[in-house]
Amino acid sequence: MHSLIKDILAPSLDIKTFDDSARLRVEAESLAFTTDSYVVDPIFFPGGDIGSLAVNGTVNDLAMVGADPLFMTVGLIIEEGFELHALKEILSSMRNAADKAGVRIVAGDTKVVGKGKADRIFINTSGIGVIPVGVHISGSNARPGDRVILSGPIGNHGIAVIAEREGFKFNPPVLSDTRPLNLLSKNMLSVTKNINAMRDPTRGGLGTTLKEIAVSSGVGVLIREDAIPIEAGVRGACELLGYDPLYVANEGVLVAFVPEKDAEGVLSAMRKNPFGRNSALIGEAVAEHRGNVVLETSIGGRRLVEMLSGEQLPRIC
């Protein structure tokens, strides 16, 4: 165990001290603090792996309340017999992701459990970030009149993972969008601190996230199907498998509710960031149909967007 931490984990993640706790110096009026566990199957998928996912996921949770991520901890639960080279690859991917996001991994832990007691590797990450003064982003702060901005095409992560798990080959391959969103959110906040609500639509997809915001903020949300960017490969895969892209998981896009007067400015700042290049205005919050999300479809019809319940299953006929 000593050698696993000292010889592999610490140097891979650049952890320099071995006391029981890391000492951190933070000056801030308010902090954001979050934790998440990652059990994705398969652990390597087109566009990423469980390591980059675990770092980006926690970075993004911090970024979605407007926080600047500073420090992160990593806990690994490893199944006995897990290949060392795979572990090293995952750790190096975590280190790269942390460097890209500008967050420091300051503490780590590993536990090895017996064969069959875990599925290869599970990762928990926790993160701390500083929230700038004057920023009050929350899923319950959306207001009628807010513009709804999406930072890029949806559905890539879910399709990439399903394709890898089930052995589907798409040409060109659909890549996961796992990426840190903290610099993008920083760019947005440099235009205005008046971002009312912001989320990264992970499990449950964009549809579920918008419904959650509509319910917690008590607003109606109206979105236009044609305005939502979806890559051709993702669209094709969804039609083939019977999935609705609105409910397919993402790991690298955000949706923000911004007051009308700031919307254009925020959108153009987002488009200058490589991770927001395809940002689009997809709709607005309204005072009507509170708690409901209405989708204006490509053919001009209207329908409700509900939360995802159960699983999306491949169709059989």
Assign 287 to helix, strand or coil: coil
Q: Give the x-and-dash track for 207-236 against another protein (CB under 8 A).
A: ------------------------------
Give the nearest distance from C-beta 128 to another protein in angstroms. 35
Measured from the CB atom, the residue of 54 and 213 that comes closer to another protein is 213
Q: Are the CB atoms for 20 and 148 separated by under 8 Å?
A: no
Q: Are the CB atoms for 56 and 178 separated by under 8 Å?
A: yes
Give the nearest distance from C-beta 308 to another protein in angstroms. 8
CA 196 to chain centre: 18
Question: Under the criterion CB under 8 A, does residue 296 sit at the interface with another protein?
Answer: yes
Quickly list DSSP for 126-162.
EEEEEEPTT----TT---TTPEEEE-S--SHHHHHHH
Q: Are the CB atoms for 205 and 245 separated by under 8 Å?
A: yes
Give the nearest distance from C-beta 242 to another protein in angstroms. 6
Question: Under the criterion CB under 8 A, does residue 304 sit at the interface with another protein?
Answer: yes
Q: Are the CB atoms for 41 and 165 separated by under 8 Å?
A: yes
Question: Under the criterion CB under 8 A, does residue 81 sit at the interface with another protein?
Answer: no
Measured from the CB atom, the residue of 109 and 239 that comes closer to another protein is 239
Question: Under the criterion CB under 8 A, does residue 305 sit at the interface with another protein?
Answer: yes
Quick one: the chain helix, strand, coil %, rounded to 5? 35, 25, 40
Assign 223 to helix, strand or coil: strand
Check residue 310 and report its DSSP letter: S
- The half-sphere exposure of 174 on its side-chain side, counting CA atoms within 13 A, is 26
Give the nearest distance from C-beta 306 to another protein in angstroms. 5
Q: Which of residues 140-169 bind another protein (CB under 8 A)?
A: 166
Q: Which range binds another protein by CB under 8 A, 1-9, 194-202, 271-279, 295-303?
A: 295-303
Measured from the CB atom, the residue of 66 and 233 that comes closer to another protein is 233
**Tokens 């006391």 belong to residue:** 19
Quickly list DSSP for 247-270.
GS--SS--EEEE-HHHHHHHHHHH
Give the nearest distance from C-beta 300 to another protein in angstroms. 4
Question: Under the criterion CB under 8 A, does residue 31 sit at the interface with another protein?
Answer: no
Measured from the CB atom, the residue of 36 and 296 that comes closer to another protein is 296
- Can you tell me the distance from the alpha carbon of 85 to that of 91, in angstroms, rounded to the nearest whole number? 10
Give the nearest distance from C-beta 225 to another protein in angstroms. 9
Question: Under the criterion CB under 8 A, does residue 114 sit at the interface with another protein?
Answer: no
Q: Which range binds another protein by CB under 8 A, 22-30, 59-67, 119-127, 308-316?
A: 308-316
**Tokens 């572990």 belong to residue:** 87
Give the nearest distance from C-beta 165 to another protein in angstroms. 11
Tokens found for residue 235: 């669209």
Q: Which range binds another protein by CB under 8 A, 114-122, 129-137, 150-158, 302-310?
A: 302-310
Of 3, 21, 171, 309, the residue at the interface with another protein (CB under 8 A) is: 309
Q: Which of residues 240-259 bind another protein (CB under 8 A)?
A: 242, 244
Question: Under the criterion CB under 8 A, does residue 133 sit at the interface with another protein?
Answer: no
Chain contacts with another protein (rule: CB under 8 A): 166, 242, 244, 292, 295-306, 308-310, 312-317
